Amino acid sequence: MLGYYFFLALRSLRRTRMLTALMVLAIAVGIGASMTTLSVMFLLSGDPLPGKSDKLFYPQLEPSTGATLRHWPMDLMDYASAHDLWAAHRATRQAMVAEASTHVVPTASGQSPFTVATLATTSDFFPMFDVPFKYGGPWTPEDEGRAARQVVLSATLNQRLFGGANSVGQDVVINGAQLRVVGVLDHWRPRPRFYMLAGSRNSGGDTGDFYGPTEDIFLPMATGIDIAQADMQPFTCWSNGNIDFKHMMTQPCAWVGLWVELPTAAARDGFSRFLDDYDAQQRSIGRFPHPKLTRMLSLHEWLAFQQVIPADVKLQTWLAFAFLAICLFNTVGLLLAKFIGRSNEIGVRRALGASRGAIFGQCLVEAGLIGSIGGLFGLLFTVLGVVAIRHQPVAYADLVSVNIPLFLLALAVALGASIVAGIFPAFRASRVAPALQLKVQ
């Protein structure tokens, strides 16, 4: 029966080419627009660390020492607090993170010095975030303790400095200090750079840069403090005196983040208590004059809190789906016109014994066929849309791509939407009275 309906639908489509073409085009454009934005949305809202993200937490306390009207703690902490919480080793793994910008003097002659984004962190960072290594590995906790002159390079920087060769054991000059390469990362592009999102929430939705490449240099925190203390990027400073950026360790500035891995609920509660106790103790000795203000968000909660998905992308998605709705209204109207225009034929089929259900089914098959063809053309528009996004000047442009699940989703949405759009017109068509139509004939 379905085969017969299919055959009838094909004949009907061929008879009203213009109307069919209009419907197919409308569906294709709607699918193209919505799937393009959806692919970006999926890409940017995905889990940056699948399978592990629910074990990672971001403890925070309010480090400022002046009056505060805050509802939640600052995005980063002062060094003393972060170091105290880190050094207690109360979690399975813990890592401090701080961003800096340092300059590299290439050893190869002819290359001029350049500036690179740098992350000062601690050794647990790499296993905790499943960071892949191509050569070598992280520095050891012992090396970290003695501020060893060691460094881990990104694949990009290793390509630039050493042509992609195994550079473990080679030296790199950073901020005038000679550092030994102990590891080179494999391709690593977390989406977003979830471990350092400070300020995302306050950036007016312009958060595209958090989806850019990772830092190129990873330094032990103690080494970073030795050679790049003045280059550390503070989230903010609070002081009525002046800030001495050469001694960031002791300045009233928030510039260090802390990540902890807590695999069980008990561990979570334990660390939460530890954080509160630390905060209480610091307040009791008068270091924090404000009331208790601590928080420990999971990675997911932190991403949501920082509103890291760019506002433009969310806006595009809204627009695209409003647009798809318009295309569907359009399709409903055109299908209605098409089916009612065939009242005579339907009347004859009804008179010859077709049930209302059969007419309904036949019309739905036709709607579905139109939807499928629209979906196929929609794939084409999706590819065009993705190409357009890849040419946009945004940090995540190179990540956007088409893939099989997206194609399948596009086809499914096109088919589903067209069938939904066909329900009312098909229902109307199935109510055509057989006798009346025959009389007019």
Partner 1 sequence: MQIAPILAALKKHRMATFLIAMEIALACAVLCNALYLVTERVRLSHVQSGVDEDRLVAITLDGVTDDQAADLAPRLRQRLAQLPGVESVSVANATPFGPQAGEMGFRIDPNDPVFHLQGHFYLGDANFAKTLGLRLVSGRWFTLDDYAHVDGFLPKTSVVLVDADYAAKLWPGQDPLGKVVLSGNQTLRVVGLLARLVRPNPSPFATTNAFLMPTLPGTGLASVYLLRTVPGHAEEVFRRATAAISRDERGVIINAQASGPLVTLRDAYFANTRSMAMMMVGVIAALLLVSALGIVGLASFWVQQRRQQIGIRRAIGATRRDILHYFQLENFLIVGGGIVVGMVLAYVLSAVLMKQYEMPLLPAYYLPYGALILWLLGQLAVLGPARRAAAVPPVVATRNI
User: Is there binding between residue 19 and partner 1 (CB under 8 A)?
Assistant: yes
* Minimal distance, residue 268 CB to partner 1, in Å: 31
Cβ neighbours of residue 205 closer than 8 Å, sequence gap 6 or more: 307, 310, 311, 312, 314
* 314 touches partner 1 by CB under 8 A: yes
Distance from C-alpha of 383 to C-alpha of 396, rounded to nearest angstrom: 17
Minimum distance from residue 127 beta carbon to partner 1 (Å): 31
- The residue from 106, 137, 205, 252 that contacts partner 1 (CB under 8 A) is 205
* Complex with partner 1: residue 306 or 316, whichever CB lies closer: 316
Q: How far is the CB of 248 from partner 1 (least distance, A)?
A: 13
Q: Rule CB under 8 A: which of 376-405 touch partner 1?
A: 388, 392-394
The residue from 9, 33, 82, 275 that contacts partner 1 (CB under 8 A) is 33
Q: Which is nearer to partner 1, 94 or 316 (CB)?
A: 316
Among residues 49, 177, 249, 336, the one that binds partner 1 under rule CB under 8 A: 336
Of the candidate spans 263-271, 280-288, 327-335, 355-363, the one that interacts with partner 1 by CB under 8 A turns out to be 327-335
| 326 lines the binding site for partner 1 (CB under 8 A) | yes
- Please say which residue, 121 or 331, places its beta carbon nearer to partner 1: 331
Least distance (Å) between residue 419 CB and partner 1: 17
Q: Does 438 bind partner 1 (CB under 8 A)?
A: no
Q: Is 107 in the site for partner 1 (CB under 8 A)?
A: no
Interface segment toward partner 1; rule CB under 8 A; list 135-143, 281-289, 309-317, 399-407 = 309-317
Stretch that binds partner 1, among 55-63, 259-267, 317-325, 353-361 (CB under 8 A): 317-325
- Cis previous bond, 192, omega within 30: yes
Region class of 287: left (phi > 0), else alpha (psi between -120 and 50), else beta: alpha
Q: Which amino acid appears at position 357 of this protein? A: G
CB 195 within 8 A of CB 177: no
Nearer CB in complex with partner 1: 134/342: 342
Amino acid letter for position 61: L
Selected from 2, 14, 17, 18, the binder of partner 1 by CB under 8 A is 18
Give residue for tokens 């692919």: 39
Nearest distance in Å: CB 333, partner 1: 4
Total residue length of the chain: 441
AA letter at 121:
T
Near partner 1 by CB under 8 A: residue from 186, 206, 277, 398: 206
Binding mask 217-256 for partner 1 (x = CB under 8 A): -------------xx----xx-xxxxxxxx----------
Which of 63, 138, 208, 368 lies at the binding interface for partner 1 (CB under 8 A)?
A: 208
The residues in 64-93 that bind partner 1, with binding defined as CB under 8 A, are: 66-69
C-alpha angle 202/206/212, rounded to 5°?
110
One residue of 101, 156, 233, 272 binding partner 1 per CB under 8 A: 101
Amino acid at 104: V
Residues that bind partner 1 (CB under 8 A): 18-19, 22-23, 25-26, 29-30, 33, 66-69, 101-103, 112-115, 175, 204-206, 208, 230-231, 236-237, 239-246, 311-312, 314-316, 318-320, 322-323, 325-327, 329-330, 332-334, 336-338, 340-341, 388, 392-394, 424, 428, 440-441
